[in-house]
Amino acid sequence: MLVSSPERQATLLERSRAWVEVDEGAITHNTRVLRQRIGPHVKLMAVVKANGYGHGDGATAHAARAGGADAFAVASLAEAVGLRQQGLQEPILVLGHLSQADDVHGCWHWRLLPTISTLDQARMFHAVASDSGACLPVHVNLDTGMARLGVPWQEGAALIQAIQQLDGLRVEGIYSHLAAADALDPGLTRQQQKSFDQVLAALTNGKPARLCRHLANSAATMANPSLHYDMVRVGLALYGHAPAGHLEGMLPLQPAMAVRSRVTLIKTVPAGTGVSYDHRYRTKRPSRLAVVAIGYADGVPRLLSSRMGVLHRGHRLPQVGTITMDQLMIDATDHPQLHTGAVVTLLGHDGTTAISPRQWSEACGTIPWDILCGFSNRLPRLSAGRSPQQGDQLALQW
């Protein structure tokens, strides 16, 4: 019996349109696969920034923890606090640059690890922390080739030694970020690793360092164990996708996301009918067009117009005409079985067929990361087990 609460109605109404389906079991599986890849002595930090690459950060983090994740990374303080509020107790590293006194209090209160890139930032953190009698653990970021955050690596050892004199801070980790770990040519990665190693050597002077050293993203984790150090920071692979074509199939990863929507209207039009804005597509034959209730405001890139398709019961139906904000059209002329209310798959598996984020990103000139985190909050995130079956009519009752 469905209860006729306002929440229930809202959920069902949303589900009747389009949704993101998240397979938490796949995230747990992928974490185990990555754990196996790195071995028992390397820690696994699950990167769940940007709402878990669009999958939902709390659900992703819990699923990754079940697969053996030791720690989490996010971009902002707000994302980190959100994870704490969703019950995650593990270490959380904030990858973004924090520079306000208030951020220091936030890190202390919520037990978050800030990233330190400059001496001024370190002094400010120290001043605020020591005022409160606190000693805040931090991770120092070295810029070895991103020219983004981090201290220029040549100044890395001096910065760390300076921070070690500040009693409000304790350097717990040292890391850097690779600019081209997914490239076929390992040249830049080798150079970055060499710079990273030079800083470590200057620090330890032959003595073992007690710092947690981390450098690898998904691509480096998959491609090269010498980049693993004490911990790896994995994002994309956690969600079941290889960071590059040449790394595909290397590990048995399972894609965790599917994006599905519903056919809301079917119409038959004569040959020569202009379809959607600007009539960029014109039917060549009498056609059966199906309207699907998802558009670019939901995260289907408008650049995919006429370059994508949807799956229904193992068939691929071409999308035609310009993708609009809330809807897109598909050509169902050769698919008379497609009916109003049918569920179509835009991304992910439909039985044995599938459409990958890489197929989308290659068709519109971007990267799979951009596709995954581009799905808007208008699409509810549903656990894979809870969503309607393929082709089902969703019974809306209240």
Ligand X SMILES: *Cc1c(COP(=O)(O)O)cnc(C)c1O
| Contacts of ligand X in 73-112 (CB under 6 A) | 95
- Catalytic residue numbers read 49, 277
**In which region does residue 231 sit, left (phi positive, over 0), alpha (psi from -120 to 50) or beta (all else)?**
beta
Under 8 Å between Cβ of 347 and 361: no
When asked if residue 243 is in the footprint of ligand X (CB under 6 A), the reply is yes
When asked if residue 236 is in the footprint of ligand X (CB under 6 A), the reply is yes
Out of 114, 168, 235, 368, name the contact with ligand X by CB under 6 A.
Answer: 235
When asked if residue 357 is in the footprint of ligand X (CB under 6 A), the reply is no
Residues paired with 281 in a beta bridge: 275
Q: How far apart are CB 100 and ligand X at their closest, in Å?
A: 20
Residues paired with 134 in a beta bridge: none
Out of 60, 189, 192, 217, name the contact with ligand X by CB under 6 A.
Answer: 217
Classify burial at 252, counting beta carbons within 10 Å of its beta carbon; exposed 0-12, middle 13-18, buried 19 or more.
Answer: exposed
Q: How far apart are CB 217 and ligand X at their closest, in Å?
A: 4
Instruction: Pick the closer one to ligand X by CB: 220 or 382.
Output: 220
Under 8 Å between Cβ of 345 and 330: no
Terminal alpha carbon distance of the chain: 10
When asked if residue 138 is in the footprint of ligand X (CB under 6 A), the reply is no
Q: How far apart are CB 397 and ligand X at their closest, in Å?
A: 41
| Listed ranges 8-16, 19-27, 213-221, 375-383: which one lies at the site for ligand X (CB under 6 A) | 213-221
Under 8 Å between Cβ of 322 and 302: yes
Out of 47, 59, 343, 346, name the contact with ligand X by CB under 6 A.
Answer: 47
x/- map, 149-188, ligand X, by CB under 6 A: ----------------------------x-----------
In angstroms, the CA 308 to CA 118 distance is 46
Instruction: Pick the closer one to ligand X by CB: 23 or 182.
Output: 182
Out of 60, 218, 261, 324, name the contact with ligand X by CB under 6 A.
Answer: 218
Q: How far apart are CB 144 and ligand X at their closest, in Å?
A: 12
Sequence ranges of the binding site: 148, 325
Amino acid at 115: T
Instruction: Pick the closer one to ligand X by CB: 296 or 369.
Output: 369
Q: How far apart are CB 281 and ligand X at their closest, in Å?
A: 35
Q: Please count the other Cβ atoms lying within 10 Å of the Cβ belonging to residue 164.
A: 12
The first and second tokens of residue 215, run together, are: 């450098």
Phi–psi pair at 252, nearest 5 degrees? -75, 70
- What are 103-106's contacts with CB under 8 Å, separation 24+? 103/77, 104/128, 104/129, 104/136, 105/132, 106/77, 106/81
Q: How far apart are CB 181 and ligand X at their closest, in Å?
A: 7
Residue sitting closest to ligand X (CB): 235
Instruction: Pick the closer one to ligand X by CB: 163 or 231.
Output: 231
The first and second tokens of residue 139, run together, are: 């991770």
Sequence ranges of the binding site for substrate: 148, 325
Q: Please count the other Cβ atoms lying within 10 Å of the Cβ belonging to residue 310.
A: 28
When asked if residue 368 is in the footprint of ligand X (CB under 6 A), the reply is no
User: Which residues, at least 6 apart from 11, have a Cβ–Cβ distance to it below 8 Å?
Assistant: 380
Instruction: Pick the closer one to ligand X by CB: 219 or 256.
Output: 219
Instruction: Pick the closer one to ligand X by CB: 81 or 236.
Output: 236
Residues that bind ligand X (CB under 6 A): 47, 49, 95, 177, 217-219, 233-236, 243
